[in-house]
Amino acid sequence: MSCPCPGAMAEHFSLSDCDVIGFDLDHTLCRYNVSDTFALIYDSFAQFLVEQRGYDRELMTLTPDCWDFCFKGLLLDLEDGNLLKLGEDGTVLRASHGTRLLTGEEILETYGKKRKWKHFKTINGTFARSGKYHFYDNYFDLPGALLCARVVDILDQNRTVKKYEFWKDVIASIEYNYKASAFKEDSGIYFPSVKKDPGKYLLRCSESVKDWLRKLKNAGKVLLLITSSHSDYCRLLCEHILGEDFEEIFDIIITNALKPGFFTQMPQQRPFRTLATKRHDQLSLVATRADDKQHEFDWDNTTIIGQAKQGTAREFLETWHSSTDSINKHIDLDPIYRPLQRTAGTDNRKRQIQTTTDAGGKITETLHRRLPSTEDVT
């Protein structure tokens, strides 16, 4: 990106001075119906705790005023069962035990005259995850602050507990609903609910926003979308809020970015892996496979078997031409297309890569594939 002031933000900033413009997705381009989404996230976690970890069913009951408890920047002290709002120097500004707000006197009694949180010095400028505390800094786990507060309330009613050990179960509920495979497997509660009724939780971008993005693209700007969501969920969001042609808007789409580490970690810690490159590019997956197998790929005799501009079309081509011995993973073709595939003469697709060895022991791999023509399917 080239901006007039590379070291710091200029007093007057204009996007017209930038070559590359990046966008976040969740709660930025993609706005959520917060009330319905928060209720869904809370129910996703609470139902797991009740049905799979045996917690009190009272967790499933909420009143509208409960949501006033949720706001970004809360810190859960897992040792004390307290939720804190801290100042920039670690001063406890407000606190609650469970959902019960602590008085000023109780805060002084718990944290001393300076009202300092004991673990603040260990943070070193970033609220890293810890077994002693959790910082609620994003909307996807923020309803968990309310859930944890209510868990503390319920556990306090049972005075036999000596310390709070519920956090491992909360983590399990998060992983159950947000794990990478949950969207594809239709598991958990969150993703199946959003897939079933995206309009209930997602707000479409206005036509003015879509027109603005296209104007930026037509003006020669490189548009970049970076999201920590996985690719399948990203596609659902973008198709709903922008339309099925959303890929034409962005030059680069990066999913599962795991921000903020995507920006703060060194390149050596988070290296990119090239998935699709120009021919003869030694960073491609073909070159990687050849190196791993100590093979030499015959680039000059390789034929491009198909091209497509749209994501759906690319997926279909990959499915059509793939087999169990393909370089990429094999994708099963929808049964409705298999008779057409056989008619098109692609039953010989297992001969995609031919391996030969010369007298000197040198191994060569050559890609062979007959392209289907219109004569095959008429």
Residues annotated catalytic, as ranges: 24, 26
Strand residue runs (E) in the chain: 20-23, 31-32, 74-77, 82-86, 92-97, 100-101, 133-136, 202-203, 222-226, 252-254, 296-297, 353-357, 363-367
Radius of gyration of the chain (CA): 27
Q: Are 177 and 171 in contact, with CB atoms under 8 Å apart?
A: no
* Residue 39: CA count within 13 A, CB half-sphere: 11
Secondary structure class of 230 (helix, strand, coil): coil
Q: Which long-range contacts (CB under 8 A, 24 or more apart) does 84-91 make?
A: 84/117, 86/117, 86/120, 89/120, 90/116, 90/117, 90/120, 90/121, 91/115, 91/116, 91/117
Structure tokens at 353: 């890569």
375 burial level (CB within 10 Å; 0-12, 13-18, 19+): exposed
How far apart are the C-alpha atoms of 180 and 160, rounded to whole Å?
Answer: 37
Secondary structure class of 77 (helix, strand, coil): strand
Residue with tokens 């810690």: 269
Residue with tokens 């073909």: 286
Q: Are 149 and 155 in contact, with CB atoms under 8 Å apart?
A: no
How far apart are the C-alpha atoms of 374 and 378, rounded to whole Å?
Answer: 6
